[in-house]
Amino acid sequence: MPQAKPAPLRLPLLALVLLAAALWLAGILERADNALGDVTLRWHSTGRAPPDDIVLVAIDQYSLEGLEQLAGPWPWPRSVHGELIEGLARWRPKAVAFDVLFNERDSFQPDNDRVLREIALTQDNLFFPTQRMPDGNPHPMHLLPPSLGAVQVNPASTEPAPVLVLPHVLDERNWQGGLVNFEADPDGLGRHYRLYDETGGWRIPYMGASIARFSGANLPPDQRIRLNWHGQPPRTISYSDLFEDLGAREPKIGPTLTGRIVVIGATATGLNDMRPTPLTAQTEGVLVPTTALANLLAGDWLRDLPSRWPLAGLLALAITLGFRRRLSPLALGLGLGAATLAAMAASYALLGAERYAPVGAALLLAWLAFGMFTLQAQWLERREREATIGIFGRFLDPRVVAGLVETGELARDQKPVAREITILFSDIRGFTTLSETRTPEQVVHLLNRYFSRQVDVIFRHGGTLDKFIGDAVMAFWNAPTDTPGHASRAVAAAIEMTQALDDFKRELAAGGEGLGDFDIGIGLHTGPAVVGFLGSDSRMEYTAIGDTVNLASRIESATKGVARVLVSDATRTGCGGDGQGLKFIHRGQFHVKGREQPVELYEPMQDPTQH
């Protein structure tokens, strides 16, 4: 029996690469990594106990009910918090942090604010929150007190000052603390914690980072860390129990807080401080900074390992080699299943070493590759079986034809899109005279030589050749792919096209072929246009349509007797004005067909001072 030939793998490999790129751009690979990573983190967190040096004082439903007779409904008078701080000071906790905003002064009972303010001034281990808002009145950073902990990192920054919610109830000397904004990933879940936020040239710390630094921890240089969750909250004390204990003759709770970090925050569901995290969709918000603080103190936050693409590449290589050798899809499927379990186990084990290695996306791609190769293997087997009974002249199976059409016409199914482009129109001057003095064959040969030079210039500057319209050329920039500085590149191409024409004329003159008044006019305009495949099923063209195209054509017509190259003000602006090695000479206002308002036109030139 003849040995089976290796299976052709180019098509599924190409399809896999394209599919991986599409899934990556759509964010699906990130979601796959997050989904499996969250499950692994939840499993891992069950075996992690929180440290005993962080204590959570919870403003829970029990406290809201227990203190209602004494303090009234929430929010309580600030004097209650002042008395708590004063009572805690007796037992010398390492730090006391509030995850409660103190930004609005009590205009009805200002004495309550005064009590808190005066008591807070007696302590140096208190931390109060600041919050950044998307809009409102900005706070110039240089006017904020040093106690906030902000550090200027870029004196030359022109970024506007941030909008901050500050603890105005307190004296500025007690503004020590930091930001408490919740940061969510694109899917809405909070997996990271920021150590600082850079804005307006300043670096503002987050609450957890400030407390960790105060406690002697060495912070990483990263702007944020990935949280390594615990399976349960830290030791939790109800606010009302602690409040009553501190006033008792023989307190039992207070002595246990010596040297501890006390974090006071809301856990009652009615206070709406719940956040979605990998643990639950309704995680108490105060657990985010306390978890970050515990991670920073222990140094056990999760370090990201770039495992997605190496693992995906390794699995894809193994699958490719297996199918190339014509191994059974069942055997390969069982092997991939074992590799999946091994990858998940390794990812789980690495969490114990504070390493986060996501495998969800790699496994998704591996199973997609397995599916593609399996389908291809089945198709090849069916094709080979049909080939053995085939005869000369057999018609193609319509289903096979449909499959080829489906895989070969995907790009044409994409809808045209609107985007900003720079259009170039180039037309020949003196073409009629040229045609009258030469045979048609000579004219065509001459035009082909001329167009070859001009197209080379367009391609060299990253342009897309749209079409030839008689003796005219249409090209555009910034489609189908993004082209940074497309206006500048288009203008540079136009200038070089005129130089290429001069070189062409000199070459012909040297060979005894005069061109007379053969010349070109080039018009450019930058603006929105619809770009994509247009046409019928039998004939498709990749082209641009819209008013931008029409105006570029009108500008080209306006070059007669004025300049070889004229550009609109939009194109000049897109080049950055006089810059990028170009300068622009204003050639006045021109009335163009189809527009009531005149158009400002400029002649671009290479700026000799830039060379």
Residues 123 and 25 grouped into a single domain: no
Residues 173 and 150 grouped into a single domain: yes
> Can you read off the two tokens belonging to residue 469?
């319209």
Boundary-marking domain end, from 256, 273, 298? 298
| Phi/psi at 125 (5° precision) | -115, 25
Beta-bridged to residue 194, according to DSSP, are 224
Residues 31 and 61 grouped into a single domain: no
pLDDT at 456: 87
Boundary-marking domain end, from 372, 388, 404? 388
Beta-bridged to residue 604, according to DSSP, are 584
Q: Does residue 399 sit within a domain?
A: no
pLDDT at 508: 78
E strand or H helix at 179: strand 177-179
Let me know: does 99 contact 207? Beta carbons within 8 Å.
yes
Range of 318's domain? 10-43+304-388
Counted domains in the chain:
3
Q: Does residue 97 sit within a domain?
A: yes
pLDDT at 412: 45
> Can you read off the two tokens belonging to residue 555?
């500008």
Q: Does residue 2 sit within a domain?
A: no
pLDDT at 343: 93
Residue 489 backbone class (left: φ over 0; alpha: ψ -120 to 50; beta: rest): alpha
Other beta carbons within 10 angstroms of residue 173's beta carbon come to 12
Residues 378 and 493 grouped into a single domain: no
Residues 485 and 560 grouped into a single domain: yes
pLDDT at 298: 94
Q: Does residue 397 sit within a domain?
A: no
Boundary-marking domain end, from 270, 298, 326? 298
Q: Does residue 252 sit within a domain?
A: yes
pLDDT at 126: 97
State the maximum Cα–Cα separation within the chain, in Å, rounded to a whole number: 117
Residues 66 and 28 grouped into a single domain: no
Other beta carbons within 10 angstroms of residue 285's beta carbon come to 20
Cis amide prior to 50 (ω within 30 degrees): no
Residues 325 and 429 grouped into a single domain: no
Q: Does residue 402 sit within a domain?
A: no
Residues 356 and 214 grouped into a single domain: no
Let me know: does 315 contact 366? Beta carbons within 8 Å.
yes
Other beta carbons within 10 angstroms of residue 242's beta carbon come to 23
Residues 448 and 490 grouped into a single domain: yes
Q: Does residue 125 sit within a domain?
A: yes
Q: What is the dihedral of CA 364, 368, 374, 375, to 10 degrees?
A: 150
**Which residue bears the tokens 């002249």?**
393
pLDDT at 9: 65
Q: What is the CATH number of the domain that holds 534?
A: 3.30.70.1230
Let me know: does 542 contact 533? Beta carbons within 8 Å.
yes
Beta-bridged to residue 151, according to DSSP, are 203
pTM: 0.61
pLDDT, mean of each 10-residue run, the chain (611 residues): 48 82 90 93 93 95 92 92 94 96 89 94 95 89 91 87 93 95 92 92 94 94 94 94 90 94 94 92 94 95 92 88 82 90 94 93 90 79 48 27 35 70 90 71 84 88 84 87 89 94 84 70 95 72 87 92 93 81 90 83 82 51
Residues 207 and 123 grouped into a single domain: yes
**Torsion sign, CA atoms 27, 30, 35, 38:** negative
Residues 33 and 74 grouped into a single domain: no
Q: Does residue 511 sit within a domain?
A: yes
Strands (E), 280-382: 283-284, 303-304, 355-356
Residues 73 and 153 grouped into a single domain: yes
